[in-house]
Each structure stands twice: as C-alpha cells, then as structure tokens.
Amino acid sequence: QANGWNDAYVRAVAWRGAGPDMGVSAARNPVRLAIAGWEWGNYYGDAKMKGAKLDISKWKRPSPETIPVHAKAAGLYMICTTSKHAAEAKGCSDALFMDYRGYVAEATGANIFFVKDGEVHTPLADCFLNGLTRQTVIGMLKEKGLTVHERRIMPEELEGFEQCWLTGTAAEVTPVGQIGDYTFEVGTLTRDISDAYEKLVRA
C-alpha cells in the first residue's frame, strides 16, 4: 500500500549476520531479516499464453537424507540457478529435474502437473518443496471433482501426457508446451485452472 502497488511479489530472507562466531556454526550471531517487494510481470513471459519450453536438467533433486528438502533454503537453489542458466542458453524457459531415484520431480522454482484422460498427475512431494501454490491448485482441482494422483512418475511417462503446467508463487499457473522432445497441448483444463487461480489471488 505504501508503494502504491496492487500486484507485487514479496520475498523474505533470513540469515545469520556478523558476530563473534564467523565459522560454520555461527550460533551466537544475530539472525537478520530482509523483506523485499517488487512489481513482477509474468515469470515466464509470453509462455503464459503459448506454453513454456523446458530443458531436462543434468542435476538431480537430492535425497531427504542429504539435505532438508522441504525447507525453502538458499543452498537448495544452487542447482536451480545452474540448471536454469543452462536451459536459457538452449532457448528454454526453465528446466525439469528428476530426483535422486530417477523419478520426475519439479522445475527450478515451480512444481509440475500433468493431465491424461481427464485426470491430473503430479509428482509426490517427498524430496522437494510442497509448494503452497501446488497445494492450493490440488484443492481447486478436487473442488471441481477432478481426480488428482500424487505419485511417482517415470520419465518415459512424459510421452503419454496430454497437458502440463507449472505452479509457484512467481509462476502462478503456467502452461508447458514442451519438455525436451515431448510436446503438450495448452488445453482447456490448463487454461481453466490458470484463470481460476489468477482470479483467486487477485480477488
């Protein structure tokens, strides 16, 4: 309100500041907090209309035994940044990760959904962040009477899916038109859920 914004993105960052212990522990140092806000258009540009193009990352989402995978922590974004840079160098909007077992996981900053035969499939969030937008969209789909399968998805299944979209705070609901060599229709269900989510957050 103070900035005169009607539509903006807010990001909070907390970290250990300078203090008596500058080693790895830093337990005696104060916690610092910064909150930034800015106006942000479509995260994927014109992909909101025609569908984003995704590369397949060489990096894998790590095991829950190696890192706190459900935390929105800066360290987890290292492979996201390098994967997105590599994808953009190939003319793509983003990259899709497989997890440490080889299952489909998520994009660099967004969860992923697929449609087949009128039912929705999304990877089980057991080694990556279960995004709030993801949870909201699952609830919206179920309210519409649609079946949502949260399950492990093999990469070879990509060929059989008809529609695909990404969800995230910045991405909102963004259609996907291509992942690697696999193409998807920006279909009615994708557009409906994208429009419904946009109305929800801007009501």
Q: If you write DSSP's letter for every residue of 50-66 in order, what string do you get? A: H-EEEEEEEEEEPPTTT
pTM (2 d.p.): 0.92
How confident is the model at residue 99, as a pLDDT? 98
CATH number for the region 47-201 comes to 3.20.10.10
Contact 93, 47 (CB under 8 A): yes
d(CA 129, CA 74): 13
194 phi/psi in degrees, rounded to 5: -65, -45
Question: Does 144 qualify as catalytic in the annotation?
Answer: no
Whether 44 has a pLDDT exceeding 90, the answer reads no
Structure confidence at residue 50 (pLDDT): 86
Amino acid at 116: K
Query: How much is the average pLDDT of 124-139?
Result: 97
Among 24-33, 110-119, 175-184, the minimum mean pLDDT is found in 24-33
Q: Is the pLDDT of residue 8 over 90?
A: no
50, 58, 72, 116: which is the annotated catalytic residue?
A: 72
Average pLDDT for 126-131: 96
Give the per-residue pLDDT at 72: 87
The pLDDT assigned to 91 comes to 96
Q: Looking at 38-42, 154-158, 177-181, 186-190, which range is the least confident one?
A: 38-42
C-alpha R_g of the chain? 18
Look up residue 119 and give its two tokens. Answer: 């039912």
Q: Is the pLDDT of residue 123 over 80?
A: yes
Does position 195 have pLDDT exceeding 80, yes or no? yes
Mean pLDDT over the full length of the chain: 94
Q: Which pLDDT does position 167 carry in this prediction?
A: 98
Query: Is the pLDDT score of 2 beyond 90?
Result: no
What was the pLDDT predicted at 34? 96
Q: What is the mean pLDDT of residues 106-113?
A: 98
How many angstroms separate the CA atoms of 66 and 73, rounded? 14
Where are the CATH 3.20.10.10 domain residues in the chain?
Answer: 47-201
Question: Which pLDDT band, with edges at 50, 70 and 90, does 92 fall under?
Answer: very high
The mean per-residue pLDDT over the stretch 47-61 comes to 92
Q: What is the pLDDT of residue 47?
A: 77
* Least confident residue range of 42-51, 56-65, 85-94: 42-51
